[in-house]
Amino acid sequence: MHMKRKPLSVLATMIDALRTLPGIGPKSAQRIAYHLMQNDKEGAQRLGQSVLHAIQVLKHCEQCNTFTEHSICELCSDKQRDSKLLCVVEMPTDQIMLEQTLAYCGLYFILMGRLSPLNGIGPCEIYFNRLIHRATDGIVSEVVLATNFTNEGEATAHYLGQILKAQGLTVTRLARGVPVGSELEYVDAGTIARAILDRRLV
């Protein structure tokens, strides 16, 4: 006879789903679940619906690769932006930081990661072909590499820089105003603004 594994209760199923989230351990998952059921059913409703809605309608912007419910995101649709400048960042959060500096007026490409061979993240996983296609549209003339100043971010910038330069593009990197070894997300806007102005040829 087969041993059938008992199906999880409704509560246990929810706790299980919560604990697969990054940074959420089993105890936090339990606490979140009880909190939602006990004190915030409205928040639970909002969470459940917004997550299901997101996976249903979100896709990658055809131009910058960020997540959006449109074919082309709002920023890429903005005719005020300088379409000769293309800034490459790792994550949408990096883009948000750069926008907050008000020091950059060009467009973006979001890799949704960084090269990390040890973790099986190669050029394919960071949408390399889409970036090359985007950067060689005949309008972009300078690519600003704004990946993080970590080992992986630097390696990614170096790799992308080589290939983009071979396409005849001007390739720059944010100036080293950004502290070495740090992640853009955590750097203050002033420092990043300085680094944009001081960007250097690669």
Contact set with Zn ion (CB under 5 A): 61, 63-64, 73, 76
Count residues near a second copy (CB under 8 A).
51
Query: What DSSP state is assigned to residue 173?
Result: E
Q: Is 119 in the site for a second copy (CB under 8 A)?
A: no
Which stretch, 23-31, 80-88, 149-157, 191-199, contacts a second copy (CB under 8 A)? 23-31
Which stretch, 31-39, 163-171, 174-182, 188-196, contacts a second copy (CB under 8 A)? 31-39
Pick one of 1, 2, 5, 22: the residue that binds a second copy (CB under 8 A).
22
Q: Spell out a b/e string for 48-57, using b for 16 or more CB atoms within 10 Å of the CB, else e.
A: eeeeeeeeee
Q: Distance of CA 85 to CAs 104, 121, 127, 188, 195, Å?
A: 9, 26, 19, 23, 16
Give me the residues paired with residue 110 across strands: 89
Q: Is 170 in the site for a second copy (CB under 8 A)?
A: no
Q: Kindly write out the interface string for residues 52-91 of this chain, putting x where it contacts a second copy by CB under 8 A and - elsewhere.
A: xxxx-xx--------xxx----x----------------x
Q: How far is the CB of 90 from a second copy (least distance, A)?
A: 10
Q: CA 126, 143, 187, 123: dihedral to nearest 10 degrees?
A: 10
CB proximity list for 67: less than 8 A, separation 6 or greater: 58, 59, 60, 61, 92
Q: How far is the CB of 172 from a second copy (least distance, A)?
A: 26
Which stretch, 43-51, 144-152, 166-174, 189-197, contacts a second copy (CB under 8 A)? 43-51
Pick one of 1, 7, 33, 129: the residue that binds a second copy (CB under 8 A).
33
Token pair for residue 202?
A: 């690669």
